Structure 1
């Protein structure tokens, strides 16, 4: 299938209802960091973007939300898919992006290159959606902070190598800083900037 045809298919069957469903899942996960959420609506974004990441893109992005893509995603049929289904503009400038998407094993730029908001408007930051190989089976991480009763543990497999160091720097900027959503297949875990992440010994 060529890129033109691929861009026309794979969106939400019921755009309004499906987007509302995905948004509720995301908000629940943001309110309870470390909680595993699942995308139920059928959606088929162009490879290499996964289902949950594609559903978030369709839900969150529109003509007012510039989107940054990794080089791998930019070379796929995804830009045309985004244009057809959301009308969201693409930007090469990370600091202009409201949302950024990185596929599995892509090199993730430093969070500092993206918009981090301001003290007055901390919400004017980039939300970064990072695909990983799986949301279990990886290095054990402990989460704490608002929305978490004591602690919760996650074990995403295939996190970018510098992710934990970048996250520590990002959290230190609070209330500024970016929020991250990890996705794999139909599943997602939200990591709001308030969340403290500690690597546990194996």
Structure 2
């Protein structure tokens, strides 16, 4: 006798309005780089996908947006099944083929060059990285760029030790390069490709 199928975790209770709220938080975060913006979610996605990461994914992904899952997430087939069922997004086998990448192991985040950087005539063909972190706050780095008056202190953990170097190299590619959302419990911070990091004084 076959084993019963595992129940699929539910999506948004109110798909239209819940997706709009999550999308609004994400866009507000990207418009104010490095500023943590509240992002709440009542989703109960399969672990290790967090409720906030799931809400962001359901708000951004659709059947036209290939998504890459890092090893930490790809190791759990129920995560891919959840995303595929609720968004229709196809899975990309390699990061370079994805419009979005979901990163469950932020400390092991691959170099940005592994992801789609866009093309000179089509910079929007780049990847957006959704990185699941434990904390967001102020400190460690100072950010400059559009949407920031002067400089803004920023910190998140865990991240690769050379994250500031990666951000600086990403900025030098502008208008090419990747955009990032760092997603923590209850909040999200956007790091667009236009941001430049400096060590915090």
TM over 0.5: yes
- Hey, what's the Cα distance between the residues in 1 that align with 2:112 and 2:33? 19
Per the TM alignment, residue 143 of structure 1 is displaced from its structure 2 partner at its CA by 0.9
**Residue 68 of structure 2 corresponds to which residue in structure 1?**
68
- Hey, what's the Cα distance between the residues in 2 that align with 1:18 and 1:4? 27
**Cα deviation digits, residues 139-169 of structure 1 (max 9, x gap):** 5211111011111112212112232222111
Contact 1:104/1:133 (<8 A) preserved: no
**Residue 120 of structure 2 corresponds to which residue in structure 1?**
119
Instruction: State the TM-score, normalized to the length of structure 2.
Output: 0.91
- In structure 2, the CA distance between the partners of 1:78 and 1:180, relative to structure 1 (3 Å rule), is same
**Cα deviation digits, residues 154-195 of structure 1 (max 9, x gap):** 221211223222211111100000001111112110000001
Matches within 5 A, 1:143-154: 143-154=143-154
**Residue 178 of structure 1 corresponds to which residue in structure 2?**
178
**Cα deviation digits, residues 20-64 of structure 1 (max 9, x gap):** 111111111111112211223411221112122111100000111
Aligned Cα root-mean-square deviation (Å): 1.9
**Residue 14 of structure 1 corresponds to which residue in structure 2?**
14
Per the TM alignment, residue 136 of structure 1 is displaced from its structure 2 partner at its CA by 2.9
Residue 135 of structure 1 aligns to a residue in which SS?
Answer: strand
**Residue 111 of structure 2 corresponds to which residue in structure 1?**
110
1:133 matched to 2:134: yes
Instruction: State the TM-score, normalized to the length of structure 1.
Output: 0.91
- In structure 2, the CA distance between the partners of 1:179 and 1:161, relative to structure 1 (3 Å rule), is same
- Hey, what's the Cα distance between the residues in 2 that align with 1:4 and 1:60? 28
Residue 189 of structure 2 aligns to a residue in which SS?
Answer: strand
1:100 matched to 2:104: no
Runs of 4+ residues over 6 Å off in structure 1 = none
- Hey, what's the Cα distance between the residues in 2 that align with 1:22 and 1:83? 19
Which structure has the highest strand share of the two? Answer: 2
Contact 1:105/1:132 (<8 A) preserved: yes
Per the TM alignment, residue 106 of structure 1 is displaced from its structure 2 partner at its CA by 4.8
Residue 157 of structure 2 aligns to a residue in which SS?
Answer: coil
- Hey, what's the Cα distance between the residues in 1 that align with 2:159 and 2:4? 29
In the comparison of the two structures, how many residue pairs are matched? 198
Contact 2:41/2:51 (<8 A) preserved: no
